[in-house]
Amino acid sequence: MLALHRAHDDDRAPKYVSLRSNLDRTPSAENALTHTATRTSISTAQGHFECLIDGDASAPPVFFLHGFPDHPRSFEPVLAHFASAGFRAIAPWQRGYDPSPVSGPYSAKQTANDLDALVDVLAPHKPVVVVGHDWGAAAAFCAAIRNPARYSHLVTLASPHPIQFSNSWFRSAAQRKKSWHFFYFQLFGIAERRAAANDCALIDELWRDWSPDLDISTAPLAEIKSTLSAGNFAPLGYYRAAFWPPFAMPWQLRGKVRTPTLHLHGRNDRCIGHEIGEGQERFYSAKLRFEVLDGVGHFLHFEDPSRVASRILQWLRP
């Protein structure tokens, strides 16, 4: 039977929790943590994956999977929080993002295979925690559904269950409008040229639009653009894999989520509306906690890494 965590024991409590941070969000608070992540190439059965790794090798592993248009550097402050809390934090460059394998396929099944292969090498005998943002969450969902014994906890950032999200296109005109890029990115060649034009200005536009309260001059956009350009914007293939073959994603994500899950979503997310997550509990047989965070948008882990890390750590260690 599904157990949905609520803010209070009162049965009338909402199905999500809206949180305001009581943590210091000033730059000095973030800079107080030493970022000690090292960049390492890991050889796996699925190819060589570049990773940022922070924390002791003997510590419990937590994997962080980025989305589009992003890369592991945006997670670096979160990795530092987890390392300081006694975890080994691992963030790979996902498939399609140079210098990890650039070639496809880019399906949830394949990216879940990539995650499994990294776990085989870095944590072969330990159940692991996986944190996925955006397309990274799709990979995490697929891996956890296939093998709940391997993934002890699942955290999704800005991403409700993928079938819940795809169903929202039929119910919500507002979400269809926000998801314009899913359809535009189906245009082979045209989308790649648009993404590369004017020093990859589209990447700036997406960050600015999806996280409207973020000063994008603080984001690692130059390195993100370099990574995407080196692979000729291969991650656009993720959007194409969502539509082809038909019904592939629902098939790859069949079955209920049996891994305890925390879903954090920014209230100001203009890529995926936080309201889309309401009702997703029908896709879970394990406990689901859904929290909406004020003051952040789609890239919430970069906008407020202290609060995001704190919420995850509190949930892992109640």
Q: pLDDT tens digits for 209-226? A: 999 999 999 999 999 999
CB 105 within 8 A of CB 142: no
Whether residue 10 has pLDDT greater than 80: no
What confidence tens digit (pLDDT) does each residue in 242-269 have? 888 766 676 677 789 999 999 999 999 9
Helices of type H across 123-220: 135-146, 162-171, 173-178, 180-184, 190-210
Average pLDDT over residues 106-118: 96
Phi-psi region of 237 (alpha: psi -120 to 50; beta: other; left: phi over 0): alpha
Q: Considering all CA atoms of the chain, what is the largest pairwise distance in Å, rounded to the nearest integer?
A: 53
CB within 8 Å of 138: residues ≥ 6 apart: 108, 111, 132, 159, 162, 238, 249, 253
Over residues 34-67, the pLDDT tens digits come to 668 999 999 999 999 999 999 999 999 999 999 9
Let me know: does 267 contact 293? Beta carbons within 8 Å. Answer: yes
> Residue 309: pLDDT above 80?
yes
pTM beyond 0.75: yes
Q: Which two tokens stand for residue 14?
A: 């909402």
In three-state secondary structure terms, 245 is: coil
Is the per-residue pLDDT at 7 higher than 60?
Answer: no
Q: Do residues 154 and 146 lie in contact, with contact meaning Cβ atoms separated by under 8 Å?
A: no
Residue linked to tokens 């890390």: 309
Residue type, 263: H
Over range 137-160, report the average pLDDT: 96
* Structure confidence by residue, pLDDT tens digits, 69-82: 999 999 999 999 99
pLDDT-derived band at 190 (thresholds 50, 70, 90) equals very high
Could you report the per-residue pLDDT of 113-126, keeping only the tens digit for each? 999 999 999 999 88
Sign of CA dihedral 123, 124, 125, 131: positive
- pLDDT value at position 318? 72
Nearest of 97, 138, 113 to residue 44 by alpha carbon: 113
Write down all domains in the chain, each with its CATH number in brackets. 17-316 (3.40.50.1820)
Alpha-carbon distance of 227 to 295, in angstroms, equals 29
* pLDDT score, position 250: 67
Find residue 288's DSSP bridge partners: 4, 261
Q: What is the pLDDT of residues 151-169, one digit of tens each?
A: 999 999 999 998 888 888 7
What is the distance between the alpha carbons of residues 119 and 127, in angstroms, rounded to a whole number? 9
Tokens of 94: 């996902």
Is residue 200 within 8 A of residue 228, CB to CB? The reply is: yes
Using 50, 70 and 90 to split pLDDT, how confident is the model at 133? very high
